[in-house]
Amino acid sequence: MLLERDGRAIGIDYKRLPGNARAGGIAGVTPASREPVLLVFEEELPRRVHVYRLELVIAHPSASSIGLPSLLSRDILNRWHMTYRPIDNRLEFEVASADSTVDLN
């Protein structure tokens, strides 16, 4: 789910969104839009990008969601291998699958 602070940072014009959905979470329920997107993550070594086709829920600005972070949902996280190493305070991800992977080398 994409929330206001991040939406504004990437230039979303909320007035142009259709408001065709509702989003619920820790802040309650707010009007939202569902939009088809390509979500792209770049990996440094080896240098490549992983592309995911999905429907992104974009929460419209509301008093209850101000300051909350956007969330990467299970539709992406389920396609990664995650390792948490508390002794090093590290959370690492390895891509298990993507809709498309492009080698940039």
pLDDT tens across 18-30, in order?
878 887 766 677 7
Domain boundaries, the chain: 4-103
pLDDT of residue 27: 62
pLDDT of residue 40: 95
Q: Is 7 helix (H, G, I), strand (E, B) or coil?
A: helix
Between 49 and 23, residue with greater pLDDT:
49
pLDDT higher than 70, residue 73: yes
Residue 25 CA to residue 64 CA, distance in Å, equals 10
What residues does 41 pair with on adjacent strands? 50
pLDDT higher than 70, residue 69: yes
Place of tokens 């959370």: 91
| pLDDT classification of 5: cutoffs 50, 70, 90 | confident
